[in-house]
Amino acid sequence: MRTTLFTAILVVSGVLWAQTRVDLKGQSRNADLSQMNPTLTVETKTQLPAQCVQGQLLFLTTAAGGRNLYGCTATDIWQEQGTAGEMSAGSGLAKMQNGSTFVWSADSTVLPYLGLDNAFLGDNAFAGKFTTAPGSIQTVIASDGIDVSTVTVRPIRTMAALTMVATPTIANGDDGQHAYVWNAGLYDVVLQDRSTLAGSNLCLAGGANATLAAKALVHLVYTAAADCWMQTGGASLGNEGGGAVSSVFGRTGAVVAQAGDFNSGQVTEAGNLYYTDARARAAFTAGAGINLAAGVISAVGDTTTAANAGAAGANVLKAGTNVTARRLVAGSNVTITENTDDITITATGGGGGGAGGLQRDFPAAICQSAAGSLAWNVGSASAPVPDCVIGANGVIYGVAKFSNSSTQAMQQSLDLPASVSTVTFGLAWRAMAAGGDVVWQVRYLIVGADGTAADDPDLNGAGVTVAATAVSSAVGVLKQSAITITPTNAGGKRIYFTVFRDNAHASDTFAHGTYTPELAKVTVVVQ
């Protein structure tokens, strides 16, 4: 009986051994697994299950080394445990894994060409240049170059604050290549602009050096034409920024200004005034006889009033005549006077520089080989005698000597201008003795410029004789006598004038036995 009972107990005991499992939660205290053989304490999978309960852990064997442990943070939500990315939040890029899928997260204040949804905004500025992960931290000294040859984001750090002196500071890249330099250390790093460091290939904002403080980041784009890395985003450096602009005027991408973006009411005028029709019209004030209605300047009232209204003369304007205003400019020897009803244009000087509108000198004689010859037209019976005057200083001029006992004369002619008021004959003469007074006379005849004795009766007229005032002689001194006439209807015609001395004139008292009056020249001035 005992034997049987023992056997039964053994059987029962064997059954209990085969079915027993240790409940670590209820049956253990201070469990120490350090001495146990290799133990799998976390569930392993090749992919994340679709379902999980909060607190559940899983080792994902297909994930990159060091990033395999995932926890269920909420029902059916897995999240990688440990570091969430390769850079801290707000510092640039972070790479995360969702199951077997890798997801990039970008700080939009750092990467202005990427939106928060990882979509490119505008042109694809990173085509062929954007790497899949930030580079490893490069520890640099002042003479080191920063390496962005294989990465887009290069973290750097230093052992102390320093100023970069490497030339080039960053090796030249490809045209359009983007690079981000992030100060992952604790000390300030000064980047030198090419204007302050010869050989630097950094073109920083404002041409000034840039201080890259701890955790700050600078965005550079290489431009082959300028052979330098151009700083973008202005002079501000940092990992905060003012936030990215996702759109302008509701448009995304490479936004180009278009009509309607602004209006004049949004622009401060300062000294640059903008003009509208209303403003332009308001700037004008209509004077007498002027109408500015509807922006059109027009005359009001009678437009046929003559410019010389109230004075004699013909009207210069008539109805329907378009008039273009022109300014009268007084030329040489001309005076323009604006009167109440008209404008007077007066000649104030002659072509010869005298006081009249036309001046011409007629020498009485010329000298050739110390012999004189008359330069005027003369008759054979009443011609004065030509002679040469040769001064001790070499001055030579001819004279015509007029007799003390008979009347002698000589003649010249001159074409007159279109307008003639007066004609003055100025006679320059001398006498070699003080023998009394001399009276010079002029007889003139005005005819048509192309007239002949056959077709112009004036040529057969007697002419008009005028006499100069008697002038007393002085030994060897040139004296001046003048005769002024006021002809009528002489404009455009020719004047024939004869200069003579009549010794029988009551006022002519010069009667020296040896010397006679000598005429040097006659100056004719027409006004």
pLDDT band at 428 (very low <50, low <70, confident <90, very high): very high
Q: What average pLDDT score do residues 451-470 get?
A: 67
24 pLDDT more than 60: yes
pLDDT band at 394 (very low <50, low <70, confident <90, very high): confident
Q: Of the given ranges (138-142, 250-254, 437-441, 514-518), which has the lowest mean pLDDT?
A: 250-254
H helical segments located in 365-452 = none
Query: 172-203: buried (b, 16+ CB within 10 Å) or exposed (e) per residue?
Result: ebeeebbbbbbbbbeebbebbbbeebeebbbb
Work out the widest C-alpha separation in the chain, in whole angstroms. 213
| Predicted confidence (pLDDT) per residue in 48-57, tens digit | 999 999 999 9
Q: What average pLDDT score do residues 501-511 get?
A: 89
The pLDDT assigned to 411 comes to: 93
What does the DSSP assignment read for 85-110?
Answer: SSS-TTSSEEEEEETTEEEEEE-TTT
| Predicted confidence (pLDDT) per residue in 321-380, tens digit | 666 667 788 887 788 888 887 888 887 654 444 444 789 999 999 998 888 899 899 987
Express as a percent the part of the chain with pLDDT over 90: 30
Torsion-angle region of 289 (φ positive above 0: left; ψ -120 to 50: alpha; else: beta): left
Q: Of the given ranges (23-32, 70-79, 170-179, 313-322), which has the lowest mean pLDDT?
A: 313-322
- pTM for this entry: 0.36
SS3 373: strand
The pLDDT assigned to 320 comes to: 59
The pLDDT assigned to 19 comes to: 57
Backbone angles phi, psi at 11, to 5 degrees: -65, -45
Q: If we measure between CA atoms, which residue out of 508, 525, 512 comes closest to residue 468?
A: 508
- Sorted by where each starts, the structural domains of the chain and their CATH numbers stand as 39-83 (no CATH), 94-231 (no CATH), 315-346 (no CATH), 358-526 (2.60.120.260)
CA distances from residue 64 to 49, 59, 68 in whole angstroms, order as listed: 18, 11, 7
Q: If we measure between CA atoms, which residue out of 189, 199, 195 comes closest to residue 237?
A: 189
| Predicted confidence (pLDDT) per residue in 220-250, tens digit | 999 999 899 999 875 556 544 444 455 677 7
Tokens describing residue 73 = 């943070």
* Beta carbons of 203 and 176 less than 8 angstroms apart: no
Q: If we measure between CA atoms, which residue out of 254, 207, 210, 204 comes closest to residue 232?
A: 204
| Predicted confidence (pLDDT) per residue in 30-47, tens digit | 777 777 777 778 899 999
Q: Of the given ranges (234-243, 275-284, 286-295, 472-481), which has the lowest mean pLDDT?
A: 234-243
For 202, the enclosing helix (H) or strand (E) is strand 202-203
In this structure, the chain runs to a length of 527
Express as a percent the part of the chain with pLDDT over 70: 71
